[in-house]
Every structure is written in C-alpha cells, then in structure tokens.
Structure 1
C-alpha cells in the first residue's frame, strides 16, 4: 500500500506565526484555500481509494475539494491529530524560541514533552500505528496495492517519515513538510520505501512512477528495492 502524507494548506495560524496546536476554529487562509483547490489537479487523476484525516478544521477544509472530486468520504482519525502542545498552544513562535524546551525540541525531540501536553515520542507512536493500521485495512479491502491519503500536520508527518526512513526521532527536524506538501511512503512486507518527501509541485504522477524491476540477485528478491530506489 502507498500512503500520500498530505499536510493541510496554509492556515491563519501559519501566517500569524503562532503555534496553532489543537486550537479550535483555525481555518485555511486565502492561499490555503487555493492550495486545497489545487489538490484536485495535483492528485485527482490518481487512483486514490481512501482519505483519512485529522479531526481539526484545517485538515477538513484541505481535503474537501479532493474528496468531492473523487467521491470519497473522508475518515477522521484522532491518532493523526496535531501534537497536543499543552500550554504552548496559541503562543507566538517568537516567544517560544526563548523557552529552554525549544532547544530540546530542535536538538533532541525524542525527549521533548510539552507542558500540560504530550511528548513527541508519543506522537510518533500513535501516528505510525494509525498509518500502518489503515494501510493493512485498505490492503485487505482492495486486495493488494492501492493509494490512500492521510491529511495531517507537519510534525506528525515528519515523525512518520522518520520512522519510514529508519531514522531516530531526533533526526526528524531535518525533514521538511510544508503546507499542502505531499510525502509518499510505500509499505511492504519487507520494509517501508520513502518515494517522495515534501512534494509541492503540480501533478504528482511522475513522482509515483517506479523504475522497472531489477534482475533477481542472491540476496535481494526481484522488485524488493525498486520503489523509489535507483542504481546510483
């Protein structure tokens, strides 16, 4: 199964430079609404079987046009909701960078636990569990490989990608997940393959075309390492 990890479009909190977290009522701004509409062109021609989204408004707004074009009813899953930033929620980023915890978030995120909120390690555990569970469910429903969309938030996507890359969570700040970006992970019985990260261009089709399977070798089954791979 292949999941398209979609970050919501640009929000009013993004432009206000505040940490939205789970604040209610944070909507897309004008640019974010344009990004949501553009998803129909970017993704609408792909054989997407399901859309799973965070319960927050900005994710709902982001997938509305795509879901309508595909005739798919989005499924809401709390496990891919935004990080619970606790008492940091709603505060200006400019203020938060002065907090001692900010350095921990940047340098050792696996140890970061937000005051009155949750830790980033717990976020990764719940999000990866959700993605893999939906992946298995959809594989059973559709009898094999299929595309599906998970619309969620920047830190959640980075945590899922770090797991798929086999990287420690402490490396997740090296990954970008811009508003309305798409990152692509294919899960197999052997391992995940990260096909694309932070795609913000037009049609995604070219990023999903895999090269032909290589000849079978003694130690690598034919087709096992082709998706998103290359010879050099």
Structure 2
C-alpha cells in the first residue's frame, strides 16, 4: 500500500484578506505563505516522493514547487484537475464575513451534502472528484513504484477535508468537523479493504519515518492493541 501526504497549499494573499477565492486566477502565496511552504518542504525533504501531484491553481503549484525543489532529486509536479478548488460560483471572490450572512451558509456548515453553490458546483460533486483523483493516483503510484512508495498531493481546504472524511468513513455532512491549516500535512494509506489515517493537520515533526526502507513492508495498519509505532 502506497502512502499519500495530503498537503494544503500555504497561505495565499486571499487567505490573509478573508476572501473566498475559489478558482480565481492570479492568487499567489503571500510572504507568510512562502515561509510556510519552505517549512513544509523541509519536513518532506527526507522522504523521497515517487510522485508530486498538484491542483492547477497558482497557490498550490507554488507550494508544490517548493516541495519539489527540496527533494534530493527534484520531483516533477503533475497537475491534476480533479484536485482543483470547489467551484463556488457566485460566492467566488466575496468576503467570508459577508457570506456568513447568507441563508445558504448554515447549510454549508450543517448539511454540506445538500449544498450546490449558486451557478457553481455541489459539495458532493467536489468531494467525489477529489476522492476519485487521490485514489486513482494512489493506485498508479503503487503500480509503478511498489507498496512502500510515498507520494504527495497538494490541494485546497475543502477537497482535502473531503478526502480525509472519506478515508475516515465519515459522511460528507461531517466533513466540517475536520480542520486543515495552510501548509499542513496529513498522512493516509489506502488498501483494497480500507483506508488508514496516520496523521492529520500537522505543522511540525519529523516525517523521515515515512521514507521507504528498502524491501521492508510498510508499517502495519489496524494492528490490534495499537502496535509499537512507526519504528517497528
């Protein structure tokens, strides 16, 4: 089973100003975001990435580029449309504090599976395509590089939460319970039978334990009693 590192893009200029950017072009990382991307890249540097996949939007590609540059052998960034931000339609480009007064806002928080944004995408549709994209690339990476391979997907908050909710077996209506910060790293392993969430929303900490160890099998998941940790 391959391992995927789910990375949210670092802070953008829109994040800092409280805008719901959606798919607007020309939104880049701010100074804080570039520092965040550098720290995340440093965390991932000891882990040789078999593949590095990114949403096509600038803020994700800039984060992915920082990660690629920190790899021992610079990784090629593959663009994946399935990881693009949700299409928020008429909500796109508006301030979050203004949107919080909209009637639909409560439904977004309490029953997201019922939400379709005006002239935009449904949250259920967003979740389905994000999960499909991650699982498809995970299967590709394992087929090409073996079950010990590690790869990274750089995407946005809502697609990332949707993938984590799916991995945890949660209904989409519970995905708002999850939190993913800019430049955070979450770790998931998929198998034919299930998915295992090893970490969520991490900002610090050594990730070298994820590096493939030759032909040794990846650490077991779902061990009765919890197991002995990643070193065993």
Q: TM-score, normalised by structure 1?
A: 0.89
Going from structure 1 to structure 2, the CA distance change for 1:72 and 1:223 (only over 3 Å counts) comes to closer
Task: Provide the C-alpha distance between the structure 2 equivalents of 1:49 and 1:185, rounded to a whole number of angstroms.
Answer: 15
Say yes or no: does 1:110 pair with 2:113: yes
Residue 63 of structure 1 and its aligned partner are, at CA, apart by 1.4
Residue 230 of structure 1 and its aligned partner are, at CA, apart by 2.0
State whether residues 7 and 155 of structure 2, in contact with CA within 8 Å, keep that contact through their aligned partners in structure 1. yes
Say yes or no: does 1:65 pair with 2:73: no
State whether residues 41 and 202 of structure 1, in contact with CA within 8 Å, keep that contact through their aligned partners in structure 2. no
SS in 1 for 2:53: strand
Residue 17 of structure 1 and its aligned partner are, at CA, apart by 0.2
Which stretches of structure 1, 4 residues or more, deviate above 2 A after TM superposition? 202-206
Task: Provide the C-alpha distance between the structure 1 equivalents of 2:61 and 2:21, rounded to a whole number of angstroms.
Answer: 15
Q: Which residue of the partner structure matches residue 218 of structure 1?
A: none
> Which residue among 100, 103, 111 is the counterpart of 1:100?
103
Q: Which residue of the partner structure matches residue 89 of structure 2?
A: 86
> How big is each residue's C-alpha offset from its partner over 1:1-55, in whole Å with a ceiling of 9 and x where there is no partner?
1110000000100110010100100100110000111123211001211100000
> Which residue among 180, 185, 188 is the counterpart of 1:185?
188
SS in 2 for 1:150: strand
SS in 2 for 1:4: strand
Task: Provide the C-alpha distance between the structure 2 equivalents of 1:202 and 1:34, rounded to a whole number of angstroms.
Answer: 16
Residue 177 of structure 1 and its aligned partner are, at CA, apart by 0.5
Unaligned runs of 5+ in 2: 212-218, 228-232
State whether residues 3 and 190 of structure 2, in contact with CA within 8 Å, keep that contact through their aligned partners in structure 1. yes
> Which residue among 176, 201, 206 is the counterpart of 1:203?
206
Going from structure 1 to structure 2, the CA distance change for 1:41 and 1:168 (only over 3 Å counts) comes to same
State whether residues 85 and 117 of structure 1, in contact with CA within 8 Å, keep that contact through their aligned partners in structure 2. yes
SS in 2 for 1:18: coil
SS in 1 for 2:186: strand
Unaligned runs of 5+ in 1: 210-221
> Which residue among 76, 79, 82 is the counterpart of 1:76?
79
Pairs aligned (count): 217
Say yes or no: does 1:120 pair with 2:117: no
SS in 2 for 1:48: coil
Task: Provide the C-alpha distance between the structure 2 equivalents of 1:187 and 1:4, rounded to a whole number of angstroms.
Answer: 12
Q: Which residue of the partner structure matches residue 225 of structure 1?
A: 222
SS in 1 for 2:50: strand
Q: TM-score, normalised by structure 2?
A: 0.89
More relative contact order, 1 or 2 (CA 8 Å, 6+ apart): 2
State whether residues 41 and 203 of structure 1, in contact with CA within 8 Å, keep that contact through their aligned partners in structure 2. no
